[in-house]
Structure 1
Amino acid sequence: MQKRFPSPSPSLSLSSYGRGWSANRRTAIAASAVAVLLAIAGIVALLTGGGNGHQAPDIAAPAPTGSPSSSEAAPKPSSGSGSVPKPAQIAEPVAYAKSAAQMLWSYDTRDTSRDQQLAGMRAWMTTEPKYADWASVSGQVPDPVLWSRMADQDQHATASVTEGHYPSAFKQALADDPSAITEAYIYVVTVNGKQQIAWKKGGGGAEERAVTLAVQCRPSHDCTLAAIAPSVTQ
């Protein structure tokens, strides 16, 4: 069970998106997850092809109104990346996904603007447009008004990762058709960990986190982030 904690504002969490989604959107997410795991060759099309196939990591509070559009463009590199870590140079899918999850669960509004946060996250993405689902990643960042409220409270978060693994259904699908992975080299990895959040006047708390990522790991290349995938955590 997820641990709850007090907050200076009910929505001041970087990963608070998704609570307000409609039943139709949640149904689309579930359908996408099943299709992904039944046919690995189709995973990229499902992750990059539409607006209803995204799910945020485990969430702590209702989503704020005015969340960013799923088509929000990445900020220009010149905006810098603030405290966002540089992309991990790792060629193994699970290890890379663990580093990417830690990055996604960490932020510091004291020295990082919203545009810098987005720019830093964008640097982790695959540069192959066919396989990059930027909307599923950028959608984790609160809208400008909420980010400003977080900054007013000096809100920041660090994260620790406890484990990462391939979901059993993904492993079974891969075993059934090993050659399917060789078109895009997209791997599905579920990561579990904990996020520590703090703000002014000693406020803070901790939450368990889980996220399923699609990472691209082509042979002889470092991995990159392709998408936040439909959540399949077994």
Structure 2
Amino acid sequence: MEFCIEHVAKSFEKKRVLKDIDFVFEEGRIYGLLGRNGAGKTTLFNCINSDISVDGGEFYLLKDGSKIQVTPENIGYVLSTPTVPEFLTGREFLRFFIDINESYISNIRPLDEYFDIVSLAKEDRDRLMKDYSHGMKNKMQMLINMIAEPDILLLDEPLTSLDVVVAEEMKQLLRSHKDGRITIFSTHIMDLALDLCDVIVLLSNGELEIVDKENMDEKEFKSKIITALKEEGAADER
């Protein structure tokens, strides 16, 4: 399976954020989407998720040689600030999510097995989510997207504000669930992307470009990324 972006463009008034992007993401890999703050990472995600319209181009999946238009059902979207129904307990929310998506979920397990996946403590599973920490809410958001098994998983800086332990748990979870889907992890933190991701992609000057690591050590690789991002900043100032 491949996720294809073809001639996608998006502008806000006179600012061109995405410039005729062509790119192919392959299943089974975690892509680190790196860019400066304001480079358009969230805009790209919102276009993929149909939250905002594009000015031109299209997104589609290639499965077994067939071209399939991307719909919200194909996509999981984990936001940097988790949004959960705080009037429900973790268990109520998980049960509700599974009940309304039952026809799409394969091999439904007991609820506690799902909680175990994200290491949510037993005493927290029946607490109202309004009393959850940011990290616990993030775990719930991540969990329902894992259960739904979307073809494309978009992660918009979901680990930035988590403590070290929770962030490491989330990274392990993503690594263990990358097969069979396309995972795109947006961040402006280079070391995080290098640690987690199989492929590094720069969003720079409105275009996507893979940063080739071949024949470079880590220091040289980081230097190449920083140089590219500095060049974008210089272009914006002109």
TM-score relative to the length of structure 1: 0.25
The structure where strand makes up a greater share of residues is: 2
The structure where helix makes up a greater share of residues is: 2
TM-score relative to the length of structure 2: 0.25
Rg larger in structure: 2
